[in-house]
Structure 1
Amino acid sequence: MKNFLYFILVLVSAFAKAQTSRAYSNEFLNIGVDAAALGMSNAVVASSDNVNSVYWNPAGLTRMQDQELSLMHSSYFANIAQFNYGAYAMPIDDVSSFGFSVIRFSVDDILNTTQLIDDQGNINYDRISTFSTADWAFTFSYAREAKLDGFSYGANAKVIRRVIGDFANSWGFGFDVGLQFKRGDWQVGFMARDITTTYNTWSIDEEQFEQVSGAVENQNQDLPETTEITLPKLQLGLARTFTFHYDHVLTAEVDLNMRFIQTNDIISSSAVSATPALGLEYSFIDLVFVRAGAGNFQNIQQLDGSDNTTFQPNIGIGFKYKGISVDYALTDIGDSSEALYSNVFSVNIDLSVFSK
């Protein structure tokens, strides 16, 4: 296990140094899934133990007991963008599990006015059409318990599909690996995303692009890059569970999210940037859940040249009855004062309840 972890760290560092283009790509995969996790500011890398581990840490799938299904919907940017997610996972045997998930992040019914004015300069509103831009992610997960007691490991294979109307589309492929260790009330998690970097290769309709770019005078007419590279990211998590009088359980987790590029994160250098995430979950008799968290700590430069530290607060509640969980999160995807808040709902279903 020690050699495996060392190999992953070396691999991630090597690729991070080798690839320098496209600082931000496939950012829709960084939003997060599951209202329960979002309510804790995504600080769940160590404690994730259900179907949503296909996203947060595939190693957590080994702690599932039965088949599970998860569905989530949320709207962002004043309902302009729609985020939909679904996942299914099941144990294969006593030591291994399998999972699958799909994400669609889209802006639909965008007006295409590039043909509004014909060759003679006449305006014809019948020439207006609509198109959608959609980002898809398909993830296949496998997890297995290690021979060392308390350890489990898992991996994701990802297929990325991005479409911008009839103008352009791309395919991308990548891999994630995760580890979890549980001993008593303590849990440790490690998640490496895009460990070999994830490549998106674009196919662009040059004729369609020229029509769009030509509609705006004095703009750069060059075609966009045809290859995007998503650099690796690391997440480390430490969680502790406190039980009071059997019925009251408090789970606290702190994560450190690292990227191999200089950003506005509160810990930032030319080689690596990092920001913490803190999450709390209180549950009563495994029926009612209350959650809160803070993450995405950023140093934002003000107009006067000074730096101001901002963060992303989140809160949430949840209810669970006979294997069916309904969760809600109120989240701010920007900072604490300027961005719009979003309402996130998700449902998790233990499919074994239908076989009883």
Structure 2
Amino acid sequence: MRRFLKISPLLILLVWSAALLGGSLTKTGTTSAQFLKIQVGARAVGMGGAYVALADDISSIYWNPAGLARLEGQGAINFVYSNWLADTKFNFAASALKAGDFGTIGVSITALTMPDMEVRNEFEPEGTGEYFSAMDMALGISYARKLTDRFSMGFNAKYILEKIWHMSASTFAFDIGLLFQTSADWLVLGISVSNFGSKMKYTGKDAFVYYDFMPDQYGDSEHIFANLQTDQWELPLIFRFGLAAEIINDEYHAFTAALEMRHPNDNTESVSLGVEYGFLKRFYLRMGYQALFEQDSEKGITAGAGFVYYLSPQMPLHLDYAYADWNRLTAVHRFSIEINF
């Protein structure tokens, strides 16, 4: 058994490398609810998003729900804020509580919002005077439990909503995650599958229009009531596998390295790498690279920092910041705060 555990990470890496070299087809733009792919947590982003095996805070809800079983203390509250691309705002809030031997229960909300925009059409290209709004949101409930001292499992169930003016689409989805601490205590394996659910389809009153079947003829009705059919789109399903190695961990210094490999249903496979250095278990510096091997990717280097302040001996306050380079699109800054109790 120990021999298998030693060779299995190498075997998985070799198989994944073959997939990366052999797979060249990209299906970018073929799924709905793209906001579900926006990464959560400044610590995770600062490490390039290589977090599926390192997850041990509330952002585990996004990366690997099994990480909730490793939550510090009896519970936690977390808030994440980011100025996302194209003047949009991304927010994430979550809370989790340990329920004894039953496990850990969590709830979360994810929202992508944007300023109101003026309605324009072919007859009034300068604007009609009306304004419309658009937003994406996900509400989730999570459960995680340690099945043994080395193995934990977690689940998310979530309601997903996308809305633009009078049209909306919604569905339900599920996530599952596993964490396994190997016989080498410094090495952890993580696996997760996110956004497994039914397709999304926009419906609403904007799909009902008046239509003239014979525009070149006179005498027929120009106002026949018609319904525009919209297509159904898959959710952005993603499979993650990762390794996290705690290379140094003593009273003064800590150094962790992590690797994550992703297989999405709407893009090519990719690899993310990240490292974290901690001093006195209070000050942290992070660096990483996101989405290596992803075709036509704008993602690049990430960096971040963190500070832990103790409100009381059993109530640490985690303040984290992350910078992510998106090349031509611009840089993205994230801030997160988490309180454990």
Q: Which range, TM-score by smaller chain?
A: 0.7 to 0.9
Taking a change above 3 Å as real, the CA distance of residues 255 and 209 of structure 1, as seen in their structure-2 partners, is: farther
What do residues 178-199 of structure 1 show as CA deviations (whole Å, max 9, x unaligned)? 000124111110001133x342
Contact 2:175-2:195 at 8 Å conserved across structures = yes
Q: 2:100 aligns with which of 93, 102, 112?
A: 93
Alignment: residue pair count: 293
1:34 aligns to what? 41
What is the distance in 2 between the residues matched to 1:320 and 1:35? 14
Taking a change above 3 Å as real, the CA distance of residues 293 and 124 of structure 1, as seen in their structure-2 partners, is: closer
Taking a change above 3 Å as real, the CA distance of residues 164 and 37 of structure 1, as seen in their structure-2 partners, is: same
What is the distance in 2 between the residues matched to 1:67 and 1:188? 24
Q: 1:278 aligns with which of 243, 257, 273?
A: 273
Q: Report SS of the residue matched to 1:48.
A: coil
**Is 1:230 aligned to 2:235, yes or no?**
yes
Shift of 1:346: 0.9
Contact 1:42-1:279 at 8 Å conserved across structures = yes
Contact 2:286-2:305 at 8 Å conserved across structures = yes
Q: Report SS of the residue matched to 2:281.
A: coil
Q: Read off the aligned partner of 1:202 and give its amino acid letter.
A: Y
Q: 1:46 aligns with which of 18, 35, 53?
A: 53
Q: CA RMSD in A?
A: 2.8
Q: Report SS of the residue matched to 1:194.
A: strand
Contact 1:248-1:285 at 8 Å conserved across structures = yes
What is the distance in 1 between the residues matched to 2:152 and 2:295? 38
Q: Which runs of 5+ in 1 are unaligned?
A: 1-19, 118-122, 212-220, 266-273, 302-308
> Identity over aligned residues, as a percent?
28
Q: Report SS of the residue matched to 2:100.
A: coil
What is the distance in 1 between the residues matched to 2:207 and 2:172? 27
**Is 1:247 aligned to 2:252, yes or no?**
yes
What is the distance in 1 between the residues matched to 2:286 and 2:253? 14
**Is 1:312 aligned to 2:274, yes or no?**
no
**Is 1:349 aligned to 2:339, yes or no?**
yes
Taking a change above 3 Å as real, the CA distance of residues 141 and 341 of structure 1, as seen in their structure-2 partners, is: same
The residue correspondences of 1:76-115 to structure 2 (distance < 5 A) are: 76-78=84-86, 80-94=87-101, 96-114=103-121
Shift of 1:51: 1.5
Q: Report SS of the residue matched to 2:61.
A: helix
1:14 aligns to what? none
Contact 1:298-1:311 at 8 Å conserved across structures = no
Q: Report SS of the residue matched to 1:45.
A: coil
Taking a change above 3 Å as real, the CA distance of residues 138 and 59 of structure 1, as seen in their structure-2 partners, is: same
Shift of 1:209: 7.0
1:68 aligns to what? 76
The residue correspondences of 1:178-189 to structure 2 (distance < 5 A) are: 178-183=177-182, 184-189=185-190
Shift of 1:38: 0.8
What is the distance in 1 between the residues matched to 2:195 and 2:172? 9
What is the distance in 2 between the residues matched to 1:21 and 1:300? 10
Shift of 1:108: 1.9
Q: Read off the aligned partner of 2:93 and give its amino acid letter.
A: G
Taking a change above 3 Å as real, the CA distance of residues 328 and 41 of structure 1, as seen in their structure-2 partners, is: same
